[in-house]
Amino acid sequence: MMKRRLGSDGPEIGAIALGCMSFGGFYGPTDEATSHRALDAAWDNGITHLDTANIYGMGVSEEFIGAYLRRHPGRFTIATKAGNTRDAQRRFNNSPEHLRESLEASLRRLGVDHVELFYLHRREQALPIEGVMETMVRFKEEGKIGGIGLSEVSPGTLRRAATVHPIMAVQSEYSLWTRLPDLGLLNACAVLGAAFVAF
C-alpha cells in the first residue's frame, strides 16, 4: 500500500486507515472476535493505522483494540480522540481536567503508554483554542502522545492552534456528501504542514 506521513515529521502510515467506530456497536451489534478478524484483515491488506475515540461504544472500541495489541504489540499506530461527551446534553468539553482524564483512560483501555496521535474530537467554542492547545502540548511533553490532531475545525481555528504548536493532522469529512474542506481547510493544512485525514 502507498504510504503517507502524518504531519511534517510524524510516522509514515498506510494511505488508507481503519476507522474503528463500528467496534463500539455504532452500526449494529458486534463483538471482540469479529473486531479482531477485521483487524487481521486490515493488517493483511497493508493498513497500519487505526482511528478510534473514547466515545466509540463508550470505550469498547479501545478495549477491543487493546486486547488485540496485547497479542500483536506494535502492529498498528493508533489515533484516538477526546473532547466529546455522551451525557444527556451531548456537549463538548475541552477542559484540561476532562482531556487528561479521557487520555489516561484511553491509554489504559488500549494497554499502551502513549498514542501516536491524539485528536481534539470537537472544539468547545467557549474556550480559546490557544489554551486548549497548551493542554495538548503538555501531554506531548509528558510523552503520552506523539502528535496533536484537530477534528472538524475551521481553517481559522487551525491557524490559531498552529501558532501554539504544529498540528500533526486534521480530520474532517470529505466525501460525496460534503466538499467543505475545499473552501480553505485543505489549503491551510498544506501551508501549515498538517496531514489532512478524510473520512
Query: Whole-model pTM?
Result: 0.95
Render the burial of 66-98: b for 16+ CB within 10 Å, e for the rest.
bbbbeeeeeebbbbbbbbbbeeeeeebbbeeeb
Annotated catalytic residue 119:
no
DSSP H helices, 8-93, are 32-44, 60-71
- Give the per-residue pLDDT at 85: 85
- Give the per-residue pLDDT at 154: 97
Which residues, including other chains, have CB under 8 Å from residue 130's CB and lie 6 or more apart?
160, 161, 163, 164
Type of residue found at 140: K
- Give the per-residue pLDDT at 86: 75
Divide the 199 residues of the chain into consecutive groups of 10 and give the mean pLDDT of each group: 93 96 92 97 97 96 98 96 82 96 98 98 96 98 98 98 98 95 97 97
- Give the per-residue pLDDT at 88: 64
Answer positive or negative: Cα dihedral of 47, 185, 115, 22.
Answer: negative
